[in-house]
Amino acid sequence: MSVQSAARRLTAPDIRARKGGEPIVSLTAYHAHTARLIDPHVDFMLVGDSLGMVMHGMETTVPVTVEMMILQGQAVMRGSSHALVVVDLPFGSYEGSPQQAFATASRVLKETGAGAVKLEGGRRMAETVRFLADRGVPVMGHVGLTPQAINTLGSFKALGRDEASAALILDDARSIAEAGAFSIVLEAISEPLARQITDEVAPPTIGIGGSVACDGQILVLEDMLGLSDRVPRFVKKFADIGPAIGAAVESYAQEVRARTFPGPEHVYAPKKA
């Protein structure tokens, strides 16, 4: 007889069922210890390919590999027990064909234990989203500003601010919604467009530079904690712990150089005979 834990981890269907309900809370996570801290407060964690920029100092997300995503996905799964964990499929690992996407997605889900994957692109990726969804892979979509396409876009900038580009993004969102995405990230698009997409598509929308009307919101954890030097307009710093870390390290360095650390309370006395 199997014994199930009383605390059940949220799933993709749970997130999809939140359409029009209580707002969905999400943050990125790349480490076990930060996953443990945020797990009680969020509905899903995204192991984003933004880890290339946040953790490794890369200029874009393009160089990120599947192996990097799996390693950090495993860490986040070990550090969490409540939130759904979604792992980004990195650039070059899924665009070639639906079959390539399924091979990558199935490997990611098997090796991490995560509950869903995310991929970027609208109409051009609809066939792939449908192929994956039909084969048991929960897919989160991502339209608007798609960072993996930075070499085509030219820069990180808001999109959908004119009628023509807004129509294309709306079509992108409709296409992947109809293909079976269980939720859709809307990044850096005009507020009225994000509101319109949220009203028109069946799956919940997750805003990041979208609209308060979206069904949920996501931010990069390091951005909202004040650990990033430069952040987009859509980021609100809910804390500014970067300077606090610098001050703590400065104090540590001063005490080491002054030989006041470690003190008697930090070292071990010999055992008495």
Q: Letter for the amino acid at 168?
A: L
- Which segments within the chain are labelled E, that is strand? 24-28, 44-47, 84-88, 116-118, 139-144, 183-187, 205-208, 216-219
Both tokens of residue 24?
A: 């969905």
Length of the chain: 273
128 three-state secondary structure:
helix
Alpha-carbon gap, residue 200 to 209, rounded angstroms: 18
Alpha-carbon gap, residue 262 to 258, rounded angstroms: 10
Q: Is 178 a catalytic residue?
A: no
Both tokens of residue 133?
A: 């969804």
Annotated binding-site residue? 134:
no
Annotated binding-site residue? 22:
no
Annotated binding-site residue? 228:
no
Both tokens of residue 146?
A: 């798609």
Annotated binding-site residue? 120:
yes
Annotated binding-site residue? 215:
no
List 187, 250, 255, 265, catalytic entry: 187
- Specify binding-site residues for 3-methyl-2-oxobutanoate: 49-50, 88, 118
Binding region: 49-50, 88, 118, 120
* Catalytic residue list: 187
Binding residues for Mg(2+): 49, 88, 120
